[in-house]
Structure 1
Amino acid sequence: MPRPVLVLDLDGTVCLGDTPVLLYAERVAAFTAAPETLLEATRAFLGRRMPESIPKTLTGAQDGYEAVKILGLSAGVTEEQLSAAYLSSRAAMSEQPGDVHAPEGLVDLLAGIDAHRVVLTNSPGAGLDRVLAHLGVAGVIDELVSDALKPSRMTAHLDGFLRVAGAAGTPEWLMSVGDIWRNDLAPAVERGCVAAYVDVFDRRQGPAHVRAGSFVDLYPAVADWSSDPASFIAAHPLKESVQC
């Protein structure tokens, strides 16, 4: 019998708080002629306050990181500068966690399920152990995969997890939880895995088996799935806008 595999995104799923995005925004803003303008727009996006002065392109941003990228590019920041700013901000986050925190009750959820628990993130690996320790989840995570190159490498990661779990022919034994549909969920849906969509900004970008505005609201679904993946996927058919 295979063991269920729970694949968790980091930012926006396991790791909450505005500090990581603001650290990124500060570094991107330093490359612009009007840094405070970019920072004010970022804060407005994070606070879900969208005054008329904010570029309309921000309304489609999937998260704070994409919002900062949109603002930076519109201010003349290059892709190379964006990349450097991101790497710098991630290094700083492990030393300056600020308001970073895990969703309430996550440790209890992960401790209470029988599954191989993976954090899969595009973030560079340096300092991530300290971040997980700060979040309080280091003891309930079995595997950490950094520099994941989602979405281009997501299917390969899923195949690897399923193969190791002995579930290559039963992909419903893997659940992917994340807040960016194209990165975390689209490849899982295509592979036949269970997709749990943390749709914080109510984007409804694509189908999922379960969807909610916060990870906390998906906890019952995660627990039910881990106890009987086959029955869970049968009871939760793929839907465009399913809401827990």
Structure 2
Amino acid sequence: MPRPVLVLDLDGTVCLGDTPALLYATRVAALTDAPEVLLETTEAFLGQRLPENASKTLTGAQDGYEAVKILGLAAGVSEEELSAAYVWSRTAMSEQPGDIRTPEGLVDLLAGVDAHRVIMTNSPAKGLDAILEHLGVRDVVDEVHTDALKPTRMSRHLDELLDAVGAADRPEWLMSVGDIWRNDLAPAVERGCVAAYVDVFDRRQGPAHVRAGSLVDLYSAVLDWSNDPSAFIAAHPLKESVQC
């Protein structure tokens, strides 16, 4: 029998805290004419206290990173400058982790689950080992894929992982867990894999087999799936807004 494959997103899923987005915002804000405005708006987004007159584009941002990008582009920051700011922020986070942390109990979950555990992130490799060490997850994952280019290459990554464990024709043996539907879950749904949606901001962007506002509330689903993937997907049909 193949071994189940558990694919976990990093930011917003395994790694919680405002520090990553705030470091990014700090770098982007420095490229604008009104840095304090961008920083204050980022903090308001992260605290879910944007004013009622905020643009729908901003209020609908999937996470802090997307909010900063929206604000930066509106302030005239180029895509190239945003990309460089993102890379800088990841290196800075490895040296200034601030409030980053894992969801309570995640290390124990990963240590005990019978699955091949993979972190899949768009983050660059530089500085990531220090971040994973700070989070305490380095020794409870089997693979780390950096610069993953989600969502463009996510389907390819899923295919390769299924092939590696001998489950190419049994996609339900892979569960993808993440907070950005288009990046982490849409490719999994298309492939027939199990999609576990950490819908922090209640965006309900697309279907999933299970959904909750935090990863903690999905732990029992992860364990049930790992014990019998086929029975799990049969018991949890794909739904637009299923809530655990």
TM class by shorter-chain length?
over 0.9
Question: How far 1:96 sits from its partner (Å)?
Answer: 0.3
User: Which letter maps to 2:55?
Assistant: P
Q: TM-score, normalised by structure 1?
A: 0.99
Q: Which moved more, 1:155-164 or 1:51-60?
A: 51-60
1:39 corresponding residue in structure 2 = 39
User: How far apart are the structure 2 equivalents of 1:221 and 1:64?
Assistant: 27
Which structure 2 residues correspond to residues 59-208 of structure 1 after superposition, within 5 A?
59-208=59-208
Given that 1:178 and 1:197 are in contact with CA atoms closer than 8 Å, whether structure 2 keeps it comes out as: yes
Given that 1:207 and 1:238 are in contact with CA atoms closer than 8 Å, whether structure 2 keeps it comes out as: yes
User: How far apart are the structure 2 equivalents of 1:176 and 1:34?
Assistant: 39
User: How far apart are the structure 1 equivalents of 2:74 and 2:104?
Assistant: 36
User: How far apart are the structure 1 equivalents of 2:50 and 2:152?
Assistant: 31
Given that 1:151 and 1:184 are in contact with CA atoms closer than 8 Å, whether structure 2 keeps it comes out as: yes
Question: How far 1:30 sits from its partner (Å)?
Answer: 0.5
User: How far apart are the structure 2 equivalents of 1:88 and 1:171?
Assistant: 36
Aligned-residue identity in percent: 79
Where do 4+ consecutive residues of structure 1 move more than 3 Å?
Answer: 52-56
2:213 corresponding residue in structure 1 = 213
User: How far apart are the structure 2 equivalents of 1:147 and 1:184?
Assistant: 14
2:243 corresponding residue in structure 1 = 243
Question: How far 1:139 sits from its partner (Å)?
Answer: 1.0
**Can you give the 5+ residue segments of structure 2 that lack an aligned partner in the other structure?**
none
2:14 corresponding residue in structure 1 = 14
Which structure 2 residues correspond to residues 41-60 of structure 1 after superposition, within 5 A?
41-52=41-52, 54-60=54-60
What is the aligned residue count?
A: 244
User: How far apart are the structure 2 equivalents of 1:113 and 1:3?
Assistant: 11
Given that 1:185 and 1:195 are in contact with CA atoms closer than 8 Å, whether structure 2 keeps it comes out as: yes
Query: What's the C-alpha RMSD, in Å, of the aligned pairs?
Result: 0.7
Question: How far 1:51 sits from its partner (Å)?
Answer: 1.3
Question: How far 1:147 sits from its partner (Å)?
Answer: 0.1
User: How far apart are the structure 1 equivalents of 2:114 and 2:201?
Assistant: 30
User: How far apart are the structure 2 equivalents of 1:127 and 1:12?
Assistant: 18
User: How far apart are the structure 2 equivalents of 1:202 and 1:233?
Assistant: 23
Given that 1:155 and 1:187 are in contact with CA atoms closer than 8 Å, whether structure 2 keeps it comes out as: yes
Per-residue deviation, residues 154-213 of structure 1 (Å, max 9, x unmatched)? 000000000001000000000000000000000000000000000000000000000000
**Can you give the 5+ residue segments of structure 1 that lack an aligned partner in the other structure?**
none
Question: How far 1:56 sits from its partner (Å)?
Answer: 3.5
Q: TM-score, normalised by structure 2?
A: 0.99
User: How far apart are the structure 2 equivalents of 1:55 and 1:213?
Assistant: 23
